[in-house]
Amino acid sequence: MKRPFVTLEQLREMTVQYPTPFHLYDEKGIRENARKLKEAFAWNPGFKEYFAVKATPNPAILKILREEGCGADCSSLTELMMSDRCGFTGPEIMFSSNDTPAEDFKLAAKLGATINLDDFTHIDFLKETIGFIPETISCRFNPGGVFTIGESTEGFQVMDNPGDSKYGFTREQIFEGFKKLKAMGAKRFGIHAFLASNTLSNDYYPTLAGILFRLAVELERETGCDICFINLSGGVGVPYKPDQPANDIAAIGEGVRRQFEEILAPAGMGDVAIYTELGRFMLAPNGCLVTKVLHFKHTYKEYVGVDACAANLMRPAMYGAYHHITVMGKEDAPCDHKYDVTGGLCENNDKFAIDRMLPEVEQGDLLVIHDTGAHGFSMGYNYNGKLRSAEVLLQEDGSTRLIRRAETPEDYFATMIFD
C-alpha cells in the first residue's frame, strides 16, 4: 500500500494558498535519500552523486541536494546556467550532452565543468569550439548488443538495447578516443555509461559496474591513460506500483564494492572515484501531483475529470506509465469503483489512469498522484494553452514554501508576436 507523505489536513491548508493542480516535494524524504545513497557508497572516498538536473530542474531542490553533498549533471545550456546560479562550481558540475551545440560546450568549459563526450567526432568539435581539450575529460561508452537484467518499473526496460541507442562511443571508438584525447593534452579520464532505465534489481548497478571496471582496466593498460573516475549514471528505478519491491541502495552499493575489489583493486586502480546520476531514485518518490476532482462522465465507461492534465504529468500519456493514485481521506476505503482518471486536453491519451480501481470518488476530492518528483513537472508543456502549475516544497518542519509560481496567461503570451 502506497501512502502519501502528506495528509488531507495538510493539503486542505495548502490549497487555500496554492490552487490545484501543483507539484509537491518532501524535503525530509529528499535529504534522507541523499544520505542513504552517500552511506551506501561511503567505502569509496571519491564518491559523488551528480543529480540529473533534467529530472527536477528547480533551484530550491538543487540547493537542498548541494547541501547534502551532491553535484549537478547537466545536459543543456540552461541547465548549466541554473546550476551555476545555484552555487555549483567547477567539478561539482558534470556536462553530459548529445548532439551538442557549440555554445553549450563553451559555457561548460567556462564554468570548469567536467565534460562527458557522447561521440568520437565531438573530440575535434570540442577542440575547435573552445580552443583546447580540458585536462580532465570523460567519454560515454555504448557496448552495443542487448542488455537485460531485472525488472523495469514499467514492466519493460526502456533502454535495454544499447545497440539501438543514440548514445555513446563504440568499444573501438573509446579506445581510439582516449588515445587521441591524451595526445591532445588530456591527463585525467572518466568513463560513463547508461544501459537500462527504471530497473528494479539490486544487480543492475553491480553488473554495469563490472562491465565498466573491466573496460577501465583494459583502457588504462592499452592507452596509458589515467582513469580517475567511473560514472555509473542512472537506471536505478523506483517502485511505481504498490506491489513492486523497492531497490535496496545499501545492497547495491555493496554489490558495486565487491566488483571494485575484484576488478579494479587488483589492477592497481583502487583510487578510482565512483560517480552516480540517480535523478529518478533520488526524487521520484519524494514528489507528487496534487489535483482536484472537477467532473464525472458516465458513458461507456466511468470517467473522473481532474484539474490536472498531461501537460502537468506526461508520462502516462506518453508511454502508458503507471502512477499510483490516492483519494485523500479515503486511504483505507475499499477500492470498489473502476474509473478512468482524465485531464482536459483535446487528446484521448490524456489519462492518468485507465480502469483503475479506487474508492468512490466525489466532486471536490483531492487526489495525490504519486512518484512525480522526477520527470514530472520537468516534462510539462503548453499544448491547448495549458499553463504549467506551481511547485511547492513541504519543508522538514511541516511548513510549506512556494518554489515555483504557477504560470499565468501573461507568461504564455510573453514570447508571442501579434504585430
Of the residues 282, 307, 334, which one is the last residue of a structural domain? 282
Question: Does residue 255 sit in the same domain as residue 324?
Answer: no
Indicate if 199 and 302 belong to the same structural domain.
no
CA distance linking residue 150 with residue 226, whole number of Å: 33
Same structural domain, 263 and 388: no
The answer to whether residues 156 and 60 belong to one domain is yes
CATH number, residue 77: 3.20.20.10
Percent of the chain that is helix, strand, coil (3-state, to 5): 35, 25, 40
Tens-digit pLDDT profile for residues 315-360: 999 989 999 999 999 999 999 999 999 999 999 999 999 999 999 9
Confirm whether 9 is domain-assigned: no
Cα(223)–Cα(136) distance, rounded to whole angstroms? 16
Same domain, 44 and 83: yes
pTM of the prediction?
A: 0.94
Q: What is the mean pLDDT of residues 368-391?
A: 96
One domain, residues 266 and 369? no
**Average pLDDT over every residue of 135-156:** 69
Structure confidence at residue 143 (pLDDT): 84
Pick from 282, 302, 323: which residue ends a domain? 282
Residue 4 maps to a domain: no
Residue 376 inside a domain? The answer is: yes
Helices marked H in 131-264 — which ranges? 171-183, 204-223, 249-259
Give the mean model confidence (pLDDT) for residues 224-243. Answer: 96
Same domain, 99 and 60: yes
Question: Same structural domain for residues 321 and 338?
Answer: yes
Q: Are residues 116 and 248 in the same domain?
A: yes
Domain, as residue range, for 67: 28-282
Over residues 196-218, the pLDDT tens digits come to 788 898 999 999 999 999 999 99
Q: Which residues contact 78 (CB under 8 A, 6 or more apart)?
A: none
Q: Is 2 among the domain residues?
A: no
Assess if residue 74 is contained within a domain: yes
Same domain, 301 and 261: no
Torsion of Cα atoms, 338 then 280 then 306 then 416, to 10°: -150
> Quick check: is 3 in a domain?
no
Mean pLDDT over 73-92 rounds to 98
- Mark which of 252, 282, 312 sits at the end of a domain: 282
- Half-sphere exposure of residue 179, counting CA atoms within 13 Å on the CB side? 10
Q: Has residue 16 been placed in a domain?
A: no
Question: Do residues 264 and 121 both lie within one domain?
Answer: yes
CB contact burial 148-179 (16+ within 10 A = b; e otherwise): ebbbbbbeebbbbebeeeebbbeeebbbebbe
Give the number of domains in the chain.
Answer: 2
Residues 238 and 317 in one domain: no
Indicate whether 154 pLDDT > 80.
no
For 321, the enclosing helix (H) or strand (E) is none
CATH of the domain at 339: 2.40.37.10
Q: Please give the helix or strand (H or E) that residue 60 lies within, else none.
A: helix 59-67
